[in-house]
Amino acid sequence: MKKFYIIGIDDNGQREFQAEVREIITTHRVFSGGKRHYELMRDRLPEQYVWIDITVPLEEVFEKYAAYCEVVVFASGDPLFFGFANTVKSRLPEAEIQVFPWFNSLQMLAHRLVIPYQDMEVVSLTGRPWHEFDRALIAGKEKIGVLTDRQHTPVAIAGRMLEYGYAGYRMHIGEMLGNVTERVRTMELSEVLRSDFAFPNCLMLERTGLRSRPFGIPENRFHLLDGRAKMITKMPVRLLTLSMLDLHNRHSFWDIGFCTGSVSVEAKLQFPHLHITAFEVRERRIYRKRFGAELLEKNSRKFGTPGITGVIGDFTEADLSVYPVPDAVFIGGHGGKLARILTILAGIMPVGGIVVFNSVSEESLNLFRQEAVRSGFRLTDECRIAVDDHNPITVLKACAESYFKPIQA
């Protein structure tokens, strides 16, 4: 069985290792780590050693590991904290792993600031998308620790927060922590935008004010399609629709025919864990103004819901494979292609996936019932609701019972 000794180190190479670690280093000959780790550790390695650089693609690194029974790996901080030990466990689940951790960078930042961190929400943006950071932000976490990279910098993070209305945080930035040139600074977000930061760095966000997070947004608060209040899902209907989608237990939500984006925005605000993809058939031009993705983005910024993916184009002709497979779908508009949309959804949704449709007429009601069953869905719920003097709407729910290839008409 292959064995890995994974040793956490600081950023200046001055750590005094315990006797067990010193013995591991002196009695082995195959070592690995990043270029920075090599610079820090090469003077401590025994003679005639083999060094394997950890670089991308990782497949080549693990091919080199395959030639040896035991490998000593140097990693930054705690190798199990978004670190290389996790990668080894994932790729070689049968391997024996022994970890010798050091403080991770967010621990060191908290120590420098003398701020308790047991209640800190930790997010890694190192080689990762914004999703988990957006989730913590929308949820209003009091402390958010962030591992950065060269794209997700303190400046980029502060810019995103201000763009979506999350000014109620101060930012603590730790640069080159553990190095003799380390620096820790505390700034307002607007000040961060005007500053430069040494890499590597990490940061902690500390909440100073709570952003409004309404449950049920009145339709007149949204940016509307040329001011037309009828072109938006009314708040009571919207909330009923979301409740029938069971979004607490869903991962990926598609909003087909988003128009103003009210359903997507409300869903993201209440269920920030969701990956949301919103589709609209075309950009609308009214009195020389463009509406569509721009309108969705304006409402996302207004209500603080970053991370909604807007897609403009005919849903039935789009390459849907590039988006997360949905386990919840709302059909708010179909452009006369309801049957085709249901056929497509039946071919990609997992068992137990939910589709909700709002019907405004007897014709569309019967059409959904017929085509949902024909496509392999099971109708489970119907609820009729009327708001003020508007026409009643029937909210229908259907569940995918199996991966189903519908009979073509």
From CA 6, how far away is CA 73, in angstroms rounded? 5
From CA 111, how far away is CA 182, in angstroms rounded? 13
User: What's the average model confidence in pLDDT over 94-121?
Assistant: 97
What secondary structure letter does DSSP report for 144? E
Count the neighbouring beta carbons within 10 Å of the beta carbon of residue 391. Answer: 8
146 strand-pairing partners: 123, 203
- Domain assignment present for 407: no
Residues 330, 250 contacting (CB under 8 angstroms): no
**C-alpha of 379 from chain center:** 31
User: What's the average model confidence in pLDDT over 300-321?
Assistant: 95
Pairing between β-strand 393-400 and β-strand 377-385 as defined by DSSP bridges: antiparallel
If asked whether residues 15 and 79 sit together in one domain, one would say yes
- Domain assignment present for 70: yes
If asked whether residues 164 and 249 sit together in one domain, one would say no
If asked whether residues 168 and 248 sit together in one domain, one would say no
Q: What is the pLDDT of residue 389?
A: 77
If asked whether residues 284 and 392 sit together in one domain, one would say yes
- Domain assignment present for 409: no
- Domain assignment present for 406: no
If asked whether residues 54 and 66 sit together in one domain, one would say yes
Q: What is the CATH number of the domain that holds 66?
A: 3.40.1010.10
Full domain range(s) for residue 42: 3-102
- Domain assignment present for 213: no
Looking at the structure of the chain, the number of domains it has is 3
Residues 241, 378 contacting (CB under 8 angstroms): no
If asked whether residues 144 and 226 sit together in one domain, one would say no
- Domain assignment present for 29: yes
Cis preceding-peptide flag for 154 (omega within 30 of 0) = no
Q: What is the pLDDT of residue 111?
A: 97
Q: What is the CATH number of the domain that holds 358?
A: 3.40.50.150
How far is residue 22 from each of residues 25, 44, 76, measured CA to CA in Å? 5, 9, 17
% of the chain at pLDDT higher than 90: 82
If asked whether residues 254 and 396 sit together in one domain, one would say yes
From CA 197, how far away is CA 195, in angstroms rounded? 7
Q: What is the pLDDT of residue 283?
A: 54
From CA 246, how far away is CA 326, in angstroms rounded? 13
Q: What is the pLDDT of residue 230?
A: 62
Q: What is the pLDDT of residue 138?
A: 97
- Band the pLDDT of 286: cuts 50, 70, 90: very low
Element at 7 (helix H, strand E): strand 3-9
Q: What is the CATH number of the domain that holds 167?
A: 3.30.950.10
- Band the pLDDT of 391: cuts 50, 70, 90: confident
Cα three-residue angle 341-342-343, rounded to 5 degrees: 90
If asked whether residues 355 and 374 sit together in one domain, one would say yes
Last residue of a domain, one of 67, 102, 137: 102
For residue 75, is pLDDT > 60? Answer: yes
If asked whether residues 305 and 390 sit together in one domain, one would say yes
For residue 235, is pLDDT > 80? Answer: yes
- Band the pLDDT of 223: cuts 50, 70, 90: confident
- Band the pLDDT of 227: cuts 50, 70, 90: low
Quote the strand ranges of 142-271, DSSP E.
143-147, 169-175, 183-188, 201-207, 252-256
- Domain assignment present for 24: yes
From CA 375, how far away is CA 162, in angstroms rounded? 44
The pLDDT tens digits for 148-178 are: 999 999 999 999 999 999 999 999 999 999 8
Question: Which tokens go with 241?
Answer: 């629709």
If asked whether residues 299 and 387 sit together in one domain, one would say yes
Pairing between β-strand 289-291 and β-strand 284-286 as defined by DSSP bridges: antiparallel
From CA 56, how far away is CA 313, in angstroms rounded? 36
If asked whether residues 175 and 241 sit together in one domain, one would say no
Last residue of a domain, one of 207, 241, 265: 207
- Domain assignment present for 327: yes
Q: Which long-range contacts (CB under 8 A, 24 or more apart) does 367-370 make?
A: 367/338, 367/339, 368/338, 368/342, 368/396, 368/398, 369/396
If asked whether residues 88 and 110 sit together in one domain, one would say no
Report which residue type is found at 158.
Answer: A
Last residue of a domain, one of 81, 102, 123: 102
User: What's the average model confidence in pLDDT over 217-229?
Assistant: 76
The model's pTM is 0.88
Cα three-residue angle 407-281-401, rounded to 5 degrees: 35
Pairing between β-strand 70-76 and β-strand 3-9 as defined by DSSP bridges: parallel
Q: What is the pLDDT of residue 292?
A: 61
